[in-house]
Amino acid sequence: MSRRCPRCKTVYSADARFCPKDGSPLVDMEGQDVPAASAGNAMDGSKTVARKIIPKSGASLDRAANLVDEVLDNRYRVNGRLGEGGMSFVYEATDVHTGKQLAIKVLSPKLSRDSNSIQRLRREAGLAMRLKHPNVCRIMRLGETEDGLIYLVMPYLRGELLSDREGRAGQMTPDEGLPYMIQCCAGLHYAHRQNIIHRDLKPENIMLVREKDGSDTAVIMDFGLAKQRQADPSMAKLTATGIILGTPEFMSPEQIRGKSIDARSDVYALGIVAFEMFTARLPFEGRSPQEMMIARLRGKPTPLRKFRSEFPKKLEAVLMRSMATEPGDRFPTALEFGRALINAYEGPNAGHLHSFLQ
């Protein structure tokens, strides 16, 4: 079986895990990772490692992939498939009781038989159900069909993934991109105040939702790798083997080392997201994900103005601080990161940006 990079679309052999061009985790060709521009990014391209497989149900992969026109639990009518990833299928559905349009993420049966995947999904739902903020995609319900298909119910978001916007329109100006970064700071700060960190922030996990007035709102999605700061014993078991969860090109140095992480790791990841958004490049270079990881552990990010000489120096300084190797050298909170971005911005909409952090 071949594998494909979901970002550059290059196909590799089955034993490859990451794209050497951009560090993206590869996906199996039979489960291609198609971004769902309207589904709240219910896909999950991250990896977990199974320790013990426990058969749980008789649901098949074909059934999970072909739910159109079915009604789940006598409530959610599945209208169409929006996309799929290595761990899930994403559908657009209607709540037959309320008529509300929803997005449903169905866990692949081959993973639902893995107790670790189930534990991780239940944790995702339990944490995300607590998050109610305009810049965070909440999970409304965790359900399970009679034949064992596990699914998450989420709002149906109309818009475009940040990764798709970057691929379509290229690098953004500060005027275009800063509102999205400030909104992400607001959503992250809210989650951090609930003692939850995202842990896998990347452009594929940020939806630009189209509002009625034509503006876009950045919404952070997929807290599938979210983790409470005070990890309980069951959480500790999930990382006891040293498995690192996250996307290689956006991981903080402490996450690469397998150390404890906090809100400053999300600040670091958001700094890389901003760097890529403004330059269409990553701040650390390498011929493989491993080389890029080593660069983050040993070196400093490439100055943003090397790629865009016209970029404001004050904004560059803020972004460089957010990507500092040592957590203590970064902004301690996403709120302070957002405020620093606003204070360094001298554009016409600076005053309006403050409203996103209130």
The CATH number that applies at residue 247 is 1.10.510.10
Domain end, chosen from 121, 155, 189, is at 155
* 177 lies in the same domain as 235: yes
Residues paired with residue 153 on neighbouring β-strands, in sequence order:
104, 141
200 is catalytic: yes
- Taking alpha carbons only, the member of 206, 300, 216, 292 closest to residue 256 is 292
Q: The pTM is what?
A: 0.75
* 347 lies in the same domain as 213: yes
* 143 lies in the same domain as 237: no
Query: Along the 358 residues of the chain, how does pLDDT read in single tens digits?
Result: 566 666 666 676 655 555 545 555 566 654 333 333 333 333 333 332 222 223 344 456 678 888 999 999 889 999 999 888 766 789 999 999 999 999 998 877 766 666 776 777 677 678 778 889 999 998 888 888 888 888 889 999 999 999 999 999 999 999 999 999 999 999 999 999 988 888 889 998 899 999 999 899 999 987 754 454 443 333 333 333 333 455 678 888 998 888 889 999 999 999 999 999 999 999 987 777 677 778 778 778 999 999 999 999 999 999 999 999 999 999 999 999 999 999 999 877 777 898 899 7
Measured CA to CA in angstroms, residue 28 lies from 63, 98, 289, 348 at distances of 19, 37, 18, 46
Domains held by the chain: number: 3
Q: What are phi and psi of 342, to 5 degrees?
A: -65, -45
* 195 lies in the same domain as 131: no
How many residues does this entry show for the chain?
Answer: 358
Question: How many CB atoms sit inside 10 A of residue 133's CB?
Answer: 18
d(CA 160, CA 153): 19
* 166 lies in the same domain as 58: no
CATH for 68: 3.30.200.20
Domain end, chosen from 155, 177, 198, is at 155
> Which position among 33, 44, 200, 216 bears the catalytic label?
200
* 216 lies in the same domain as 143: no
* 166 lies in the same domain as 315: yes
* 225 lies in the same domain as 343: yes
Which residue range is the domain that position 343 belongs to? 159-357
> Please, is 239 exposed, middle or buried when counting C-beta atoms within 10 Å of its C-beta (0-12, 13-18, 19+)?
middle
* 149 lies in the same domain as 78: yes
Domain end, chosen from 155, 173, 203, is at 155
